[in-house]
Amino acid sequence: MSVNMKRILVPIDSSEIAERAMQQAIKVNRFGEAEIHILYVADINKLAINSYLSGNVLLEISKAGERILNAACDEFPESMHVVKVYRTGDPAEAIMDYAKEINTDLIIMGSRGLGLVRGVLLGSVSKYVLEHAKCPVLIVK
Q: Count up the domains in the chain and report the number.
A: 1
- CATH number (domain holding residue 26): 3.40.50.620
Encode pLDDT of 96-133 as tens digits: 999 999 999 999 999 876 554 444 456 789 999 999 99
Max CA separation in the chain (angstroms): 48
* Range of the structural domain that residue 73 is part of: 7-140
**Residues contacting residue 74 through CB under 8 Å, at least 6 positions apart:** none
Mean pLDDT, the chain, integer = 87
Establish if 2 belongs to a structural domain: no
The pLDDT of residue 8 is 98
CA distance 39 to 96: 11
